[in-house]
Amino acid sequence: MNLLSRYAECIFWMARYMERAENLARILDVHETFARDTRGATNWFSVVQLNADEKDFFSRHDRPTAEAVIHYYMFDPQNRNSLLSMLRMARENARTLRPWISTEMWTQINVFHNKLLEMSVKDVATQNLSKVCTWIKEECQSHTGITEGTFYRDQGWYFYQMGKYIERADQTTRLLDIKYHTLLPSPVEVGSTLDVSQWTTVLRSTAGYHAFRRVYPRGMSPTTVAGFMLFNEGFPRSVVMCVRQIDGVLTRMRSRYDLRGGAAAMERVDELLAALLSRPIDAVLRDGLHEYLDWIQLQLNVITTEIAQAFFGVQPPLAVQSQSQ
């Protein structure tokens, strides 16, 4: 049975929305931790900057207070980047895919979405935010486990994997960038107890602290943490690991199903992987970490566009807007 382009697109974006929801919970959780420091009251705006939502946010809010930013990213139905919107879109894609996905997958997404709808502003007040974010991460991880155990391994599985790894790579760059935006330290603070604590929080937000300690049993620096999150080939959320997975999934899918499309996407993925493997972390930090992370995000956007053109029947300039970038 061949997979129609409409179903392929829905599977791809369902995976991306669920991965994106988990990572937004990670960003809010790590930011709530950062906001406990002496500069925390002024730092919530960086979450808005990370998602390039400044114009939309200020159309409805005067100031980026903790309460305003949390509401905007948790419950605002007009914000396409809110958790509520992501889960609604994941659920709508899952509804379209009922003939293709397991009953367990559909039930878990549906219940997760409905529980979030029942939550109130009080439930996500600053003092409760970390607990709620932990619950969201666990629900997203439950989805991942159910999908791994029940999703039939046909073309749909390959599109799910591509969507998941593209989104994961993008979100790892954003989690790393939040340290840049929020807490770019003065030279005097580099290596301080506060600086090390904040880098530890970034690693924990990606579930990478213990893996990092296996590679670096002692010490911690911006160079080692950024290098680990970008280039370590054993860490499941590193950018290099995700891009390798995208490359492998795309190669296997085209070979197994004798697909002609996707050559441009494969070429772009190969170029990105080669660029990642050829650049040492010292050079990245010297030339500008923020600019490098922006460049990676741009390459992932282009890969998404080329996948949409090759497999979803979407032509430019609509390819990148087929659901939500």
pLDDT digits (tens, 9 = 90+) for 254-271: 999 988 889 999 999 999
- 325 domain-assigned: no
- 169 domain-assigned: yes
- 316 domain-assigned: no
What percentage of the chain exceeds 70 in pLDDT? 89
Going by pLDDT thresholds of 50, 70 and 90, the confidence category of residue 248 is very high
- 297 domain-assigned: yes
Helices (H), the chain: 5-34, 45-50, 54-58, 66-74, 83-96, 103-118, 126-150, 155-183, 193-205, 209-215, 222-231, 239-256, 263-278, 281-287, 289-311
Going by pLDDT thresholds of 50, 70 and 90, the confidence category of residue 4 is confident
Task: Answer with the residue of higher pLDDT: 122 or 105.
Answer: 105
Distances (CA, A) of 320 to 44, 104, 302, 312: 28, 30, 8, 11
Count of CB atoms within 10 A of residue 194's CB? 13
| Encoded tokens for 175 | 């989690």
pLDDT for 186 equals 47
Q: Which whole number is the average pLDDT over 143-152?
A: 97
In whole angstroms, how large is the CA radius of gyration of the chain?
19
Using CA atoms, how far apart are residues 250 and 278, in angstroms rounded to an integer?
A: 22
- In our burial notation (b when 16+ CB lie closer than 10 A, e otherwise), range 123-146 reads ebeeeebeebbebbbebbeebeeb
Going by pLDDT thresholds of 50, 70 and 90, the confidence category of residue 47 is confident
Q: Which whole number is the average pLDDT over 280-294?
A: 92
Q: What average pLDDT is seen over the chain?
A: 89
Q: Determine phi and psi for 7, rounding to 5 degrees.
A: -70, -40
pLDDT for 317 equals 54
Q: Is the pLDDT of residue 54 over 50?
A: yes
Q: Which whole number is the average pLDDT over 48-53?
A: 86
- 245 domain-assigned: yes
Count of CB atoms within 10 A of residue 288's CB? 12
Task: Answer with the residue of higher pLDDT: 246 or 44.
Answer: 246
- 321 domain-assigned: no
- 244 domain-assigned: yes
Task: With beta carbons less than 8 A apart as the criterion, state whether 73 and 47 touch.
Answer: yes
Q: Which of 47-51, 169-173, 214-218, 228-232 has the lowest mean pLDDT?
A: 47-51
Task: Answer with the residue of higher pLDDT: 125 or 182.
Answer: 125
| Encoded tokens for 317 | 């300039």
* Number of compact structural domains in the chain: 1
Residue 298, domain extent: 5-311
| Encoded tokens for 6 | 């409409």
Q: Is the pLDDT of residue 189 over 50?
A: no
pLDDT digits (tens, 9 = 90+) for 302-315: 999 999 999 998 77
- 227 domain-assigned: yes
Residues in the chain, total: 325
pLDDT for 259 equals 85
